[in-house]
Amino acid sequence: RQVCDLGSQIADALTAAHAIHIVHRDLKPDNILLEPRDDGTFLIKVLDFGVARITAGANLPTSDLTRMGTVIGTPGYMAPEQAMGESVDFRVDIYALGVIMWECIAGKVLWDGASVSELFTTQLAGQAPPLGTEVPGLPPELSALVDLMLDRNPRRRPESARQIRDALRRMSHSTLIAAPSHKPAVPATAVANPLPRWLVPVSIGVLVVLVVIGLTMGQGKTAQRPNDGTAPTPATPATP
């Protein structure tokens, strides 16, 4: 249910971008920020539109933005047509969202390889494994939607991010969506980190500083204690 909620928020951001003819082209976990809310849920923010493409229909020049034969994106999250350098549209974002949801639910990386070329070979050789076979007990409606988003043929993917958003919103409020019958094994390399990668070293550094300060304060308090073995005399309350 949480994956449906987060997925619907990402799809909502894509809906807004696609409405003004912008394709992200590099949607991946590193470009998604989770901001905790007071009620325990998360607010999604889609970041880094640095390689976004302005599609035909926008009142902006597009001649220098993308040319056929140029591969831009992140291996493992690029759609097949994007990895092959073909012309792309909003459906590459739908594919990338499908990869993200597949990995969140299955608890492992979808496309992997010892090298980029091996990864692409595996991805382009066949269809993604059906999510329902990876996670037994998953509602058929959810697995079918993710499988459709990952279709190699962009024409067979959902018609729009809006359609995905609305479907995920319905499923996030459905009583039929529940936790799978087993907890998927998540390899160490696939464990989600709620902090952006660049922030992890900073967080560790801050933690070390706080520990040092705590130890220093503790030593200071120890030095101030009486060393004659007697307990300190409690303060006499003031007479009203």
Of the candidates 26, 38, 39, 228, the residue annotated as catalytic is 26
Distance CA 69, CA 87 (A): 8
Distance CA 62, CA 80 (A): 22
- Which residue type is seen at 24? H
Judge contact between 82 and 123, C-beta under 8 A: no
26 carries an active-site annotation: yes
Distance CA 9, CA 45 (A): 8
Distance CA 54, CA 90 (A): 10
- Which residue type is seen at 51? V
Q: Name every residue whose Cβ is closer than 8 Å to that of residue 232 and which is 6 or more positions away in sequence.
A: 225, 226
Distance CA 166, CA 162 (A): 6
Judge contact between 55 and 66, C-beta under 8 A: no
Burial class (CB in 10 A: 0-12, 13-18, 19+), 76: buried
Distance CA 89, CA 111 (A): 22
Distance CA 11, CA 233 (A): 65
The rounded Cα 156 to chain-centroid distance in angstroms is: 24
Residues identified as active-site: 26
